[in-house]
């Protein structure tokens, strides 16, 4: 009986989603990064909690809860507003953060900014896909 419970427990845990993807604003050092994390609380739930971890070391490191959405349908655009201000957008929902003082704004201010890329699920894994910027003519 104990062996069956161990096997069943491991099968139930494998159905849960818990992963992240990062955008490195400073290249690849990791000192200035925006990381999107999704976590499925229960294996029977299709929703996952989506959080943003913003860091600009050594001055800023903060976790911000964004929303809950279906684990397989996470797709959030990342836009740069300049001066370490970032907007995240998922459909009609928007969030704006600033990594200079590690702040989340209560409302999105100003223009949406320049599209940097998209956090999305590919092959059941959360990834960051950089936007293709067209050269100026």
- pLDDT for 57-70, tens place per residue? 999 999 999 999 99
pLDDT tier, 11 (very low <50, low <70, confident <90, very high otherwise): very low
* pLDDT over 60 at 9, yes or no: no
Query: Across the beta sheet with 47-56, what order do the strands follow?
Result: 18-24, 32-39, 47-56, 60-70
Average pLDDT over residues 120-135: 89
- Mean of the per-residue pLDDT values of the chain: 87
The DSSP element (H or E) to which 7 belongs, if any, is: helix 2-14
Q: What is the pLDDT at residue 123?
A: 93
Q: Cα 91 to chain center, whole Å?
A: 14
Q: What is the pLDDT at residue 16?
A: 86
What's the Cα-to-Cα distance from 30 to each of 25, 64, 92, rounded to whole Å?
8, 18, 30
- CA pair distance 34, 36, nearest whole angstrom: 7
């Amino acid at each position: 009986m104990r062996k069956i419970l161990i096997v069943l427990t491991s099968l139930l845990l494998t159905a849960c989603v818990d992963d992240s993807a990062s955008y490195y604003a400073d290249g690849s050092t990791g000192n200035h990064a925006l990381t999107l994390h999704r976590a499925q609380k229960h294996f029977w739930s299709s929703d996952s909690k989506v959080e943003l971890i913003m860091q600009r070391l050594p001055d800023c490191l903060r976790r911000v809860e964004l929303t809950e959405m279906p684990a397989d349908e996470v797709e959030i655009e990342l836009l740069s507003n300049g001066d370490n201000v970032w907007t995240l957008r998922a459909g009609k929902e928007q969030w704006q953060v600033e990594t200079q003082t590690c702040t989340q704004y209560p409302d999105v201010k100003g223009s949406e900014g320049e599209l940097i890329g998209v956090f999305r699920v590919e092959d059941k894994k959360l990834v960051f896909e950089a936007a293709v910027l067209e050269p100026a003519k």
